[in-house]
Amino acid sequence: MREGLQPGDRLPSEPELIERFGMAKGTIREALRLLDAQGLVKSRTGPGGGTFVHEVSQQRAEALLANYFYFKDLTISDIYQIRRVLEPELVADLAGALSPRVMEELRDILASYSDPATTDEEERDQHVATLQFHKLLADQSANPLLSFLIGFMLTILTDITVYRKLYTPINRDLWARGLDYQTRLLDALETGDSGAARAIMKAHMQTAGPLMEGQEAFSLKRFLSH
């Protein structure tokens, strides 16, 4: 940081660091591992190789943050409490600002679950797809913090959905209402009606939220492993 290195820039080679800091190879390598674990550098072997500054990926940041919650009793309803306020905020920003390319992608995802699921497995896949719908929206935000936070919550919810049958009871009524919400949301986003987008998402979150409260409270420990 002090030397203003940018992603892609090469750190001094190990022998150079040994020379510069007057330390042994092992010590230098342990130090580099500390940066490695934080996702700040990546190393490559061979000529032209070395250790390079690397932008911390969203995936890495999510994994590191998940470690923190490994020791906390975070529940599904805790997550929904945050989603309930952040996602309406998100779509209010996005109304009228989405590219045709993204709009099309959103419609594609929506189409992937336009028919009710018939099996538990199909049901699970559809739920993952709805989460992808929200994820794609989150990725469009100009606010990196908002984008990350929603993405983080969606990753947790997706992991839980995949590794555990979270949404087992098939509920056709809920499915129909969710589909209706998202269809109307797309319209509001396209026409640029920020207020409507916010209201629709808010209502959507308020129906999805209480459903989760019914689930037993449980810690996320078993899902957070890398």
Applying CB under 7 A, the residues found at the interface with DNA are 13-15, 22-27, 29-30, 32, 43-51
Closest to a copy of itself by CB, 86 or 109: 86
- Asked if 217 touches a copy of itself (CB under 8 A), the answer is no
206 binds, among DNA, a copy of itself, none (CB under 5 to 8 A by kind): none
What's the longest Cα–Cα distance across the chain?
69
209 binds a copy of itself (CB under 8 A): no
139 binds a copy of itself (CB under 8 A): no
Site for a copy of itself in 22-41 (CB under 8 A): 26, 29-30, 33-40
- Distance, CA of 54 to CA of 43 (rounded, Å): 10
Q: Residue 52 burial by CB count (10 A; 0-12/13-18/19+): exposed, middle or buried? A: middle
> Which does residue 23 bind out of DNA, a copy of itself, none, counting CB within 5 to 8 angstroms by kind?
DNA
103 neighbors 91 (Cβ within 8 angstroms): no
**Both tokens of residue 5?**
């290195």
- To a copy of itself, the closest distance from the beta carbon of 69 in angstroms equals 6
Whole-angstrom CA distances from 25 to 13, 29, 125, 130 are: 11, 6, 49, 49
Toward DNA, which CB reaches closer, 30 or 213?
30
DSSP code for 74: -
Q: Return the number of other C-beta atoms located less than 10 Å from residue 190's C-beta.
A: 16
CB of 95 to DNA, least distance (A): 45
Does 145 engage in binding with a copy of itself (CB under 8 A)? yes
Angle 25-37/14-21 helices, nearest 10 degrees? 110
User: Which tokens hold the place of 11?
Assistant: 């750190």
Which residues, 6 or more positions from 85, have their beta carbon under 8 angstroms from its beta carbon? Answer: none
Span near a copy of itself by CB under 8 A; candidates 61-69, 108-116, 175-183, 204-212: 61-69
- Rule CB under 8 A: is residue 149 a binding residue for a copy of itself? yes
Backbone angles phi, psi at 53, to 5 degrees: -60, 140
The single residue among 82, 97, 103, 111 that binds a copy of itself, judged by CB under 8 A, is 82
14 binds, among DNA, a copy of itself, none (CB under 5 to 8 A by kind): DNA
Residues of this chain that interact with a copy of itself (CB under 8 A) are 1, 7, 26, 29-30, 33-40, 55-56, 58, 60-61, 64-65, 67-74, 78-79, 81-82, 85-86, 89, 143-146, 148-149, 153, 225
